[in-house]
Amino acid sequence: MCNRVVQKDKIVKPGERVVVLLKGPGAQFEMPFEAVFAGPAKSESRGYWIKREGAEPVIVPDVTRFGERNKATGAQGWADVPPGSSLEGLLLPMPPGKDYRLLKVVTGPPRRNNSPAWAMTVRRSRCLRVQGLPVTKVAAWVDAHERQRRRVGA
């Protein structure tokens, strides 16, 4: 599961601040807001987060990479996302007595032909939901990235 996000060349860990875009008056993601990164949320639980917890959909712009811990070895791994992409997220309401809101990035099973496009990475059980590029461009980018990685033996 995602435990790090790189936004504007800064590594963001859980508990640290990350910029998200809220929907503005025109129903487009345009209003910047600083939230506290709180890890992943399964897309299958999206209804729970929105209906029961009062979360609202947001996007996390300017993301270039994400990190996750290898369950078998405990080593931190990294994966790139296509340039110009944004991640789908859920912004939770402000807890009573606090001055921040928590962000959950949305993950789902790895699939190619969904819209919005999914970040497809080989050997992962969950993938981040990536917005900003058509699914065919994401698939082509991931395929090229994986071929390059296999060539260099990473």
Under 8 Å CB-to-CB from 132, ≥6 apart: which residues?
82, 84, 85, 86, 117
Angstrom distance (rounded) from CA 68 to CA 81? 13
Q: Which residues pair with 58 in a beta bridge?
A: 89
- Length of the chain, in residues: 154
User: For residue range 118-143, what is the model confidence (pLDDT) as tens digits?
Assistant: 343 434 556 666 665 444 444 455 55
Q: Which of 106, 108, 127 is nearest to 59 (CA)?
A: 106
The three-state secondary structure class of 141 is helix
- pLDDT tens digit string along 14-61? 999 999 999 877 777 788 999 999 988 988 899 999 999 999 999 999
pLDDT confidence tier of residue 117, bands split at 50, 70 and 90 = very low
For 50-89, the three-class secondary structure string (H helix, E strand, C coil) is HHCCCCEEEEECCEEEEEEECCCCCCEEEEECCCCCEEEE
pLDDT tens sequence across 52-101: 999 999 999 988 888 888 777 888 888 888 777 888 999 999 999 999 99
